[in-house]
Chains A and B, each alone.
Chain A
Amino acid sequence: MGELVQLVVSGVATGAIYSLAALGFTLLWQASGTINFAQGEFVMLPAFAMLFCVLAGMPLWLGVLAACAAAMIVLGWGFKRLIVDPLIRHGVIPLVIATLGLSTFLKTTVRAGYSAEAHQFGSPFPGGVFRIAGINVSWADVGTLLVAGIIVIALQTFVTRTVTGRAMQAVAQNTEAARVLGIDVKRMVLYTFLINAVLAVVAALLITPTYLAKFDMGDSIGLKAFLAAIIGGFNQTRGALLGGVLIGVLENLVGFYVSPAYKEGVALMLFLGVILVRPEGLLGKVEERKV
């Protein structure tokens, strides 16, 4: 029993990281109809940026801030300006293909320009475990949950309690109506891209200590972010959170009780199961098709 609880706790912590990546993915989709296949690389790049900062002798917190600033400029504003803006008019597929090309470019650049090896990345949390009610919990899991929780609550507060946040929600729900009401749609969409970039940095900070910094680390994170978003409901922010946590927990359970070799297949199975029963995702709303 204690074993099971332990697996669930650490699964929730890993799942919380998937949720952050999935959340960014969902926000982009809601605000601008962008499906970003380079989402995994958007996590990989900040991991290397922070690694460089630490290697250059900066303390980790400064590295995180620097990575946030760089990510907002490059992965937020730059990505929107150079790739999304010119392509979004042509529909979803050209943009998807372009992000696939971007993902190939980013991976190869890191591999060819820096290294193909996996690099150690120090955890922002103290090591070790503590015992509570007969189960072992690692400080890293607690820290991960805490940080992810704070980020999610902060984001939720911003979106529901501030004027800007509400305007962003309006854009996500109905772009045309928002424009008629005088909301600066372009600016709101830009904010979404910036938030996505910051979420990617936080996900990188939390996941890299266990995944290690490697050029292809984004493959797995990206895939799970997409699947988590769909499992939870593509058009629901809460859905991304639920989907990520579900994947994290089930992966841990399957890895322990069934076979560690098939851990990576859990997300797909869950995805296929969910869309067979509830095509709109667990928390999703059915979308009307526009003619």
Chain B
Amino acid sequence: MKAGIKLVLLGAAILALAASALYLKRSDVYLLSLYAVYLMATFGLNLTVGYAGQMSLGQAAFFGIGAYVAAILLKLGWPFLLVLLVAAVVCFLVGLALGFPALRVQHHYLAFATLGFNVLVYLVMRNEEKITGGTYGISAIPRPTILGVDLNGHVAYYWFTLGSLVALGALLWWLLRSPWGRAFAALRDNPIRAESLGINITAYTLLAFAIGAACAGVGGVYFASLVEFIEPGPFHFSTSLMMLLAVIVGGQGRFFGPVVGTIVIILVPELLRSSSAPWLKFMQVWYLAVFGVGVVLLMVWLPGGLLSIPERFARKAGKP
């Protein structure tokens, strides 16, 4: 397919997603908004995992930091766009501070550091009641009005989130196509060669991780405004694990990998929860077990993720 046709198809898909809000139930529109919000975080994580080749198990912590920053500042009456900027910068800086010691040594240390970090952030959210409201959380988080447009309605907020997601996606796309982004791919594919070509591996990896963290922070801001009430629960490290697996299941290092993977971790479980068919009831309880086995099998047979299926077939067909 030519790039032009792909772009048209992508545009049509986005328009269809936007238009669907006019016909869907309120709860379904909410679900789509939730999907878009998580997608911001997994897009960011794909940068860290898929392009820089690092394992991060703390994406939900950054997502949570963004959400709490948003909840506190929005309630103080700060403008939404400024809050967005603050959340992104905070997550970026925290990402740098966490990634620096971990990445300096062995790259898989980042997985342990981020995992521990997520545990710590969760504790802070639960225990610092004066700031975070503890287990009661923060409620009545306002939705924004931007340039005089009131985004309080569920459809209006969905469109706003979808539009922002597309903007974030475009930004990341541009980033990955820049010379800077190409250095990423080089260091993932062959770090030692990249280093000998004069790419500072650690600096690039650290930046990739911090940018990924900032994306999660941005997602967290939209999340806080969407759900209007936050508590520590959604930012437990099990969410980080799900986000990481979403990136892998979709196909790490494929730009649209998270789009597929996030369906599996957000849309499917939520749809299961709201359905009432008896066999689906069974799946509600066992979904994560099936998912876990699925991940193991995927690693054995299709390490490239679901989006690598077409290539796999193409390669098989090409052989005599």
Query: Which residues of chain A have C-beta atoms less than 8 A from B245's C-beta?
Result: 97, 100-101, 104
Contact with B along A258-291 (1 / 0, CB 8 A): 0101101101110110011001100000000101
Cβ–Cβ contact B102 & A275, under 8 A: yes
Q: A108-B289, A265-B123 are in contact. Are A230 and B112 (CB under 8 A)?
A: yes
CA gap between A234 and B298 in the complex, in Å: 29
- Closest-by-CB residue of A relative to B193 is A291
Q: Which residue of B lies closest to A95 (CB)?
A: B299
In the complex the two chains form, is A103's CB within 8 Å of B116's CB? Answer: no
With contacts A101-B292, A109-B289 taken as known, whether A223 is within 8 angstroms of B116 at the C-beta atoms is yes
Q: Which residues of B contact A (CB under 8 A)?
A: 53, 55, 98, 101-102, 104-106, 108-109, 111-113, 115-117, 119-120, 123, 126-127, 192, 237, 241, 244-245, 248, 285-289, 291-296, 298-300, 303
Instruction: Given A101-B296, A275-B102, A276-B101, decide whether A112 and B116 contact each other with a Cβ distance below 8 A.
Output: no
The answer to whether A86 touches B300 (Cβ under 8 A) is yes
- Enumerate chain A residues within 8 angstroms of B296, measured Cβ to Cβ: 83, 98, 101-102, 105
Please tell me if the beta carbons of B123 and A103 are within 8 angstroms of each other in the complex.
no
**A93 sits at the interface (CB 8 A):** yes
Which residues does chain B contribute within 8 Å of A268, judged by CB atoms? 113, 116-117, 119-120
Q: Say yes or no: B119 contacts A223, CB within 8 Å.
A: yes
Is A108 within 8 A of B119, CB to CB?
A: no
Provide the bound-state CA to CA distance between A223 and B292, in Å: 19
Provided the pairs A35-B108, A109-B289, A272-B101 are in contact, do residues A101 and B113 lie with their beta carbons within 8 angstroms?
A: no
Kindly state whether residue A161 has any CB partner on chain B within 8 Å.
Answer: no
Find out whether the CB atom of B117 lies under 8 angstroms from the CB atom of A97. no
- Kindly state the separation between the CA atoms of A9 and B192 in the bound complex, as whole angstroms: 47
User: From residue B186, how far is it (CB to closest CB) to chain A in Å?
Assistant: 16
Contact B127 A98 (CB under 8 A): no
What is the distance, in angstroms, from B293's C-beta to the closest C-beta of chain A?
A: 5
| Chain B residues with CB under 8 A of A226 | 112, 115
Inter-chain contacts of A35 with B (CB < 8 A): 108
9 closest A-B pairs by beta carbon, nearest first, are A101-B295, A105-B292, A268-B116, A104-B292, A279-B105, A108-B289, A108-B288, A98-B299, A261-B127
